[in-house]
Amino acid sequence: MDITFSAEELAFRDQVREFLAQNWTPDLARRIRGEDEEFKAAQIEWQNKLNDKGWLAPGWPVEHGGVAWSVTENFIFETERSLAGAPDVVPFGLKMVAPVIYGFGNEEQKQRFLPRILKSEDWWCQGYSEPGAGSDLAALKTKAELDGDDYIVNGAKVWTTYAQYADWIFCLVRTDASGKRQDGISFLLIDMKSPGITVNKISSIDDHHSLNEVVFDNVRVPVANRIGEQDKGWTYAKALLAHERTSIAGVADSKRRLRDLRKLLSEEISGGRPLIEDVQFQNRLSNTEIELMALEYTELRVLASTADGKGPGVESSLLKIKGTEIQQAIQQMYMDLAGYYSGVLHGDETAESIGHAFGHDARKAYMYGRAATIYGGSNEVQKNITAKYVLGL
Amino acid sequence: MDITFSAEELAFRDQVREFLAQNWTPDLARRIRGEDEEFKAAQIEWQNKLNDKGWLAPGWPVEHGGVAWSVTENFIFETERSLAGAPDVVPFGLKMVAPVIYGFGNEEQKQRFLPRILKSEDWWCQGYSEPGAGSDLAALKTKAELDGDDYIVNGAKVWTTYAQYADWIFCLVRTDASGKRQDGISFLLIDMKSPGITVNKISSIDDHHSLNEVVFDNVRVPVANRIGEQDKGWTYAKALLAHERTSIAGVADSKRRLRDLRKLLSEEISGGRPLIEDVQFQNRLSNTEIELMALEYTELRVLASTADGKGPGVESSLLKIKGTEIQQAIQQMYMDLAGYYSGVLHGDETAESIGHAFGHDARKAYMYGRAATIYGGSNEVQKNITAKYVLGL
Amino acid sequence: MNFNLSEEQNMLKDSVARFVQDEYDFETRRSNAANPLGFNPDNWQTFAELGWLSIPFEEAYGGFGGGPTDVMAVMEEMGKGLVVEPFVATVLMFGGLLSKSDNPALKDANIEKIIDGSLQGAFAYVERQSRFELADVKTQAKRDGDDFVLNGEKTVVFNGAAANKVIVSARTSGEQCDEAGITLFLIDADAPGVERTQYRLMDGQLVANIKLNDVRVAASQVVGKVDEGYTLIDSVVSDVTIALCAEALGIMQKLNTTTIEYTKTRQQFGVAISSFQALQHRMVDMFMAGEQAKSILYRAVCAAEGEADDLAKNIAALKVMIGRNGKLIGDEAIQLHGGMGLTDELDVGHYVKRLMMINTTFGDADYQQQKFNRLAYAE
Amino acid sequence: MNFNLSEEQNMLKDSVARFVQDEYDFETRRSNAANPLGFNPDNWQTFAELGWLSIPFEEAYGGFGGGPTDVMAVMEEMGKGLVVEPFVATVLMFGGLLSKSDNPALKDANIEKIIDGSLQGAFAYVERQSRFELADVKTQAKRDGDDFVLNGEKTVVFNGAAANKVIVSARTSGEQCDEAGITLFLIDADAPGVERTQYRLMDGQLVANIKLNDVRVAASQVVGKVDEGYTLIDSVVSDVTIALCAEALGIMQKLNTTTIEYTKTRQQFGVAISSFQALQHRMVDMFMAGEQAKSILYRAVCAAEGEADDLAKNIAALKVMIGRNGKLIGDEAIQLHGGMGLTDELDVGHYVKRLMMINTTFGDADYQQQKFNRLAYAE
């Protein structure tokens, strides 16, 4: 057992800190918290800075522009990034479709899509869930029928995050309905500018526009945009899911959120004493903090096992379940800290003119956070998976 | 809504208090905490005192020696009894088989059994569970075959509390295996002195002998000891179950246990301060106390609804689940209060020569209490029942 | 012993239920909340006509003379409809303070107008720093001849935007967190020196911050007695807590019903998700949480009706359980609705938001539990 | 970064696992515990021969020179076997105090005997009133020439019945709960004035209360320095906490495996109860509780290996999680075994009882959480 950092790793950490100090500026931090186009532009700017440094794509093959960090280096980077308050990359291109493209795509697809993902020239979104099929992914009904060199796609995808910004969507579509539900599914890359695509905004409980429905009405998609073989899409998609669960855990971000929360709690006065001195709040903090201390090592165990070539394996469900539970517990504490101000919807008023600066943000994070136990395969489905494949029940 | 006591009810309360002060003596309290025959004799003595007062059998028809208390009077009696630390009656005769006998038995059975139950001349036990059938009661396999005027009973019952003291056992036995599982079950009263009955002690985790296995090897039971019709026993037994769940809730006893716990907590010093001043312990206390405050009213609602002739209904499952959860939470707090001393098994040593007087009792109660969420239909089965019959799922 | 409503109470409850059923579907509720006043004034007139605005007031002032049970019956049904009209703020809080004060002149001048629907009121008690401490009052009131002059700021004033009159807590003596030395003043919402900033809360309420800059109030407008306002506040907050918890109970029942119905229709893996045992057991937990909440509400109402010694303890216990069980039910309602639970079009999220605001009001479950602990264990 | 054991550590772990497998079935364990010593002395000789008793000691004294990882590897396997032999009391606590003291004479005289199995030791630190406070020491030691004279009582001394020598904490200066002023004395268990009362704990341990009536100890038998015993205690308790938590992890894994296996064979309502989704989800919770416990144990071991600044915080967090997750797993193991879980013949209850004693030792989860809070939030 060894988790001490070597001299090289300590040097790398300094390098990361320096990069963050120079590039993650307060101005950028402000803009990335904005809405719509301001957010989009700032997010792209941030990703471009990472790309200029060569740090945008850990895990990608080096020949495609990836960075071959060790598990420890990756851990160091994520920890530092998060403690600095810098956001993760938008995962749909870099972490979700890219591995499918470099793993299962042909040479032409790699050349065509990967460089544009690295340069953030294409914004991707994910077309998995459907109105009738949530966590039961294989129940999908969006149909793609071959017509010459094109597929004709009809159907709808739902809960599509940031589809309103997207240039491309990667979709699971049904190309054969005759066999087992997992068979007959193909993996298509679809240009969002294609005629017949409509994006409908879904108003969500956090009053923030992130979710959408994407409707396909006789959308023509060249066969050249299919990844791998027809009807084998489920195999390609499945490889992604374990990774998705791991990254949903959000351990490093939760650490930062807890750190910031402790600071706010020591500033908030209740009955003449800082709220952090309240034993009940301390207990809630430490309940969560201790789970997170453990989960950080669960993640390291998974990463170490991956590095040993054993693959992330089925523990990824555990990471997803516990990670999202921790996130929600933290969100709840921010709400309770904000008290009455947790309910405030800002219209024309600023936080300062009303009360606490963080009540509004606390509420948004809380409401948006409800999704975390639902998406990426609901936590209930993760438990089913664990029961079946880990415990053999 | 009205739960204030009338002048008559207040007078009744005084009467109960006076009775308890005179009859629930410290000597009796000491003996009833003893083992084996000492316990049995003291329990019978206590029941006889209640019977002399005419208060042993609330709910029984008055013509059979019952007492026709109102719901409020019953509540008052239970509250006072429990606060005084006096035990409930042993339920198997008075609360379980008696209602079946006066509800479904014939005149001869009533005359033969009920007076002896009232006088505690017969100690009864319950023969429902079987080695292969726990909460799945209807899976029972103990067989009774007609042979002239007798049934020949073969099989085994398990988890039979106090079978070692019992004069009689009431059993569900299978008289017909051809139809639905709930059909073909008969309800027999069996003399424990019958040849062919063996009682095997089950050592249990509380190191106290309460559980037994009762084995029937060609035991002859007169047909006259069958309640009601052959093959209809399930109907008679079912009527009992809702009542059993209600009484398992043990609200009044939990109130007393919490009261005593508060006192012990204010006497126990940790780091120079009484443990009751510890916010964490206060929170655990109040978590439980608040649930109990609610459950007390849930029970009153059920009782009031029964008094209105609507029957205890399906909320009895709720009472059982919450009531046993509260009991176990209280048992856990006693354990944590006792600390190291919670582990002490007394052999020849007295509590005083070792440390805390209550560590040993805390452990026994805790260990015995594990059964409460399992017996009487496990809490999981109660949830199934509630899901199906209350929520319509 | 019984837990039945009287015939009169049943009629009252039914009339609210019918109103919600007929006039308050979810879309109508949305547009009522979107009204610049924060509610629909026509509904308010309906409430007046139906006599609801008179419920808690003494018959001598034209009231119905109702008690905690009557208020509970009404509020539970209002909860089911997510009614945004400021019944709590105007009738129970503002009206409650006047009603419990010992000041016939103020009662004469105002209660009738509350009852006929022409007067909207508010109670301004929160300050930026006060969190849940009702006695943490920095707003100053200085005597000047027959007047008092008020300076300070109140935040998150329920119905503060629409109120014609506001009762303000201010310090006339003592230190910032002392219970003694707090006085209640009845002021006109448009009196010189009153500055209002209105904003919305997530449950649809339109509230306001109120700045007081040398606001002059006649001594005759003191509600209750000088320096003794805290007792009045405490008593009214106790009543209103029961009312809000009854509203929360209505919401929980609605969420439980809605969730059960949804799981019966939602198909996943080829069957209705209501058939999954793990979800069934969780819905049983939701049901039990609702039933326990109902029981402890009944308990608190009985204590309030009987003016029991341990009323404060019962109220704290009630607020703890409503907060905790409400959270359990709200969380599970969203989770079991899956993606649908996240959409603003569905009513589920709106019920949850109102439950959350009720939890916060007068102190969340953790805060109330500490209050309970002090009452129960600090002998 | 890796979480692999070294080859040597793997061999050690395997040797314990093999011993448990071959020599420690449940019935044998029962009879070992029933031995008048509280354990089987033949096993102790086997431990000595296998070198286990030498693990934590410096090589200079004939030890293996093992660290927290080695101890963890051994203890996890001992947990799976519910081994009652006093490895923790004699080797880790008694031996640990000697080993960490700066006293070559005492080490020379004792460590070799621990390693060869001829010396049983104990550490007497609990007093009637002390609860979990290691610094709450009333036992007095008064200097008298070159000796100290001890008076007082120690309770629940692990291995106190079989121990040949006992290290006793006593107060040489300061107030009852002061950390300063505590001194550790090495005494013979049969020295004049020592009175032992032995009794059993629910996990099968034979322990003792030890009364000290004018017990005379030479100053040369002071372990560590006069008045500075607390630091030594704190350090050894930290090591032993890791060891006990590793034992607990072994137990949790065993309970999880046993429960899963049982549910696959137990039939109810015509099917194996492992097929019920509600139970499956609960077993997933048990699994997650075990995995999280493993992770935080690894974290604490890494902190101990690296002598990290925040070791104390990691140890407190470890003890909290082991206590809580152990309770969850223990409760569920019994519950899912149904009536069988209540019987003394089945091993489940015995594993649960040992988990409960580990939770209590050095302070239960609640106590350790408050310690964590002080370390983490009282800056």
Q: What is the pLDDT of residue B358?
A: 85
Instruction: Please give the Cα distance from D203 to D251 (Å, whole number).
Output: 12
Of C174, C196, C228, the domain-final residue: C228
**Same-domain check for residues C18 and C98:** yes
| Same domain assignment for residues D268 and D370 | yes
Same domain? C199 vs C315: no
Flag if A136 and C369 touch (Cβ within 8 Å): no
Pairing of strands D121-124, D165-171: parallel
Work out the minimum CA distance from C3 to partner chain B, whole angstroms.
Answer: 4
Task: Based on the fold, state whether residues A209 and A284 are members of the same structural domain.
Answer: no
Contacts of A379 in chain C (CB under 8 A): 335
As a whole number of angstroms, the longest Cα–Cα distance in chain A is: 75
User: Is there a single domain that holds both residue A385 and residue A272?
Assistant: yes
The predicted model gives C190-208 an average pLDDT of: 96
Task: Answer yes or no: B244 catalytic.
Answer: yes
Q: Is residue D165 part of a domain?
A: yes
d(CA B189, CA B60): 19
Domain end (from C203, C228, C253): C228
D277: contact with C, CB 8 A cutoff: yes
Chain C contact present for A161, CB below 8 A: no
A176, part of any domain: yes
Cβ of D269 under 8 Å from any chain C Cβ? no
Report CA A244 to chain centroid distance, whole Å. Answer: 7
Let me know if residue D1 belongs to a domain. Answer: no
Is C330 a domain residue? Answer: yes
Q: Does D271 touch chain C (CB under 8 A)?
A: no
Would you say residue A241 lies in a domain? Answer: no
Domain span holding position A306: 249-390
* Contact flag D197-B353 (C-beta cutoff 8 Å): yes
Q: What is residue A242's predicted lDDT score, i.e. its pLDDT?
A: 62
What's C92's domain CATH number? 1.10.540.10
Tell me which of A45, A74, A104 is where a domain ends.
Answer: A104
Question: Nearest CA to CA, how far is D282 from chain C (Å)?
Answer: 9
- The least confident of B295-309, B376-390, D137-151 is B295-309
The predicted pLDDT at position C141 comes to: 98
Residue C298 at interface with chain D, using a CB cutoff of 8 Å: no
Can you list the residues of chain A whose pLDDT is less than 70?
Answer: 242-246, 311-314
B49 and B78 fall within a common domain:
yes
Residues C258 and C337 in one domain: yes
Q: Is the pLDDT of residue B246 over 70?
A: no
Clarify whether residues D338 and D267 are in a common domain.
yes
Do D47 and D155 lie in one domain? The reply is no
**Band of residue B135 on the pLDDT scale cut at 50, 70, 90:** confident
Domain endpoint, select from C228, C247, C270: C228
Specify whether B203 is located in the same domain as B262.
no
Residue B99 lies in a domain: no
CATH number of the domain residue A262 falls in: 1.20.140.10
Asked if the structure places residue A110 within a domain, the reply is no
Residue B48, in any domain of the structure: yes
Distances (CA, A) of D356 to D116, D324, D368: 31, 10, 15
Instruction: Enumerate chain D positions whose Cβ falls within 8 A of a Cβ in A.
Output: 1-5, 69, 260, 263-264, 274-275, 277, 280-281, 283-284, 287-288, 291-296, 298-299, 301-302, 305-306, 314, 317, 320-321, 369-370, 372-373, 376-379
Is the domain of A227 the same as that of A255?
A: no
> What tens digit of pLDDT does each residue of C339-364 get?
899 999 999 999 999 999 999 999 99
* Number of independent structural domains in chain D: 3
pLDDT in tens, C33-42: 999 999 999 9
Whichever domain contains C144, its CATH number is 2.40.110.10
Tell me if C74 is assigned to some domain. Answer: yes
Q: Which of B178, B205, B231 is the last residue of a domain?
A: B231
Contacting subunits of C (3+ beta carbon pairs below 8 A): A, B, D
Burial A232-245 (b: 16+ CB within 10 A, else e): bbbebbeebbbbbb
Domain contains C2? no
Q: What is the 3-state secondary structure (H, E, C) of chain B?
A: CECCCCHHHHHHHHHHHHHHHHHCCHHHHHHHCCCHHHHHHHHHHHHHHHHHHCCCCECCCHHHCCECCCHHHHHHHHHHHHHCCCCCCCHHHHHHHHHHHHHHCCHHHHHHHHHHHHCCCCCEEEECCECCECCCHHHCCCEEEEECCEEEEEEEECCCCCHHHCCEEEEEEECCCCCCCCCCEEEEEEECCCCCEEEEECCECCCCCCCEEEEEEEEEEEHHHEECCCCEHHHHHHHHHHHHHHHHCCHHHHHHHHHHHHHHHHHCEECCEEHHHCHHHHHHHHHHHHHHHHHHHHHHHHHHHHHCCCCCCCHHHHHHHHHHHHHHHHHHHHHHHHHHHHHEECCCCCHHHHCCCCHHHHHHHHHHHHHHHCCCCCHHHHHHHHHHHHCCC
Active site residues of A: 244
Q: Which of B78, B80, B213, B244 is flagged as catalytic?
A: B244
Domain with residue D282: its CATH number is 1.20.140.10
Q: Tell whether A260 and A375 lie within a shared domain.
A: yes
Q: Classify residue A181: in a domain, yes or no.
A: yes
> How far is C-alpha A381 from the geometric centre of its chain's CA atoms?
18
B71 contacts chain C (CB < 8 A): yes
Same domain, A269 and A365: yes
In a domain, B111, yes or no: no
Q: CA of A271, closest CA in chain C: separation in Å?
A: 6
Give contacts of C280 with chain D, Cβ < 8 Å.
Answer: 278
Q: For B193-215, how does the pLDDT look when each residue is reduced to its tens digit (9 = 90+)?
A: 999 999 999 999 988 888 999 99
Residue B191 lies in a domain: yes
Residue D216 and residue D309 in one domain: no
Please check whether residues C139 and C110 belong to one and the same domain: no
Q: What is the mean pLDDT of residues D326-345?
A: 95
If asked whether residues A380 and A275 sit together in one domain, one would say yes
What is the extent of the structural domain holding C88? 7-120
**Residues C275, C314: one domain?**
yes
Q: Which of B271, B354, B374 sits opposite D155 (nearest CB)?
A: B354
Identify the weakest region by mean pLDDT among A373-382, C21-30, C70-79: A373-382
Residue C20 within any structural domain of the chain: yes
Q: Are residues C107 and C50 in the same domain?
A: yes
State how many domains chain B has. Answer: 3
DSSP structural state of residue C238: H
CA neighbours closer than 13 Å in the CB half-sphere of residue D123: 27
B-chain residues within 8 Å CB-CB of C320? 286, 290
The ipTM assigned to this model is: 0.95
* pLDDT at B18 exceeding the cut of 80: yes
Tell me the per-residue pLDDT of D301-317, one tens digit each, with 9 for 90 and over: 999 998 788 999 999 99
The reply to whether D107 and D212 lie within a common domain is no
B344 touches D205 (CB < 8 A): no
If asked whether residues D60 and D180 sit together in one domain, one would say no
Is C313's pLDDT higher than 70? yes
Confidence of residue C308 (pLDDT cuts 50, 70, 90): confident
| C339 found inside a domain | yes
Q: In terms of CA atoms, which chain B residue is nearest residue C365?
A: B287
The DSSP H or E segment spanning C367 is helix C365-377
Average pLDDT, chain B: 91
Report chain A residues whose CB lies below 8 A from the CB of C274: none
β-pair type (D194-201, D206-218): antiparallel
Query: For residue D353, is it within any domain?
Result: yes
**Per-residue pLDDT at B251 exceeds 70:** yes
Share of chain C above pLDDT 70, in %: 99
Instruction: Give every CB contact of residue C300 below 8 A, 6+ residues apart in sequence.
Output: C68, C242, C245, C311, C314, C315, C317, C318
Cβ neighbours of D286 in A, within 8 Å: none
* Residue A207: CATH number of its domain: 2.40.110.10
In chain B, whose CA is at the least distance from the CA of D270?
Answer: B139
Same domain, B199 and B266: no
B222 and B130 both lie in a single domain: yes
Mean pLDDT of B313-321: 83
Contacts of C292 in chain B (CB under 8 A): 291, 294-295, 298, 322
How close does chain C come to D274, measured CA to CA in Å? 12
Mean pLDDT, to the nearest integer, of D134-158? 97
B272 and B324 assigned to the same domain? yes
Q: What is the pLDDT of residues D175-219, one digit of tens each?
A: 999 999 999 999 999 999 999 999 999 999 999 999 999 999 999
CB within 8 Å: B354 and D360: no
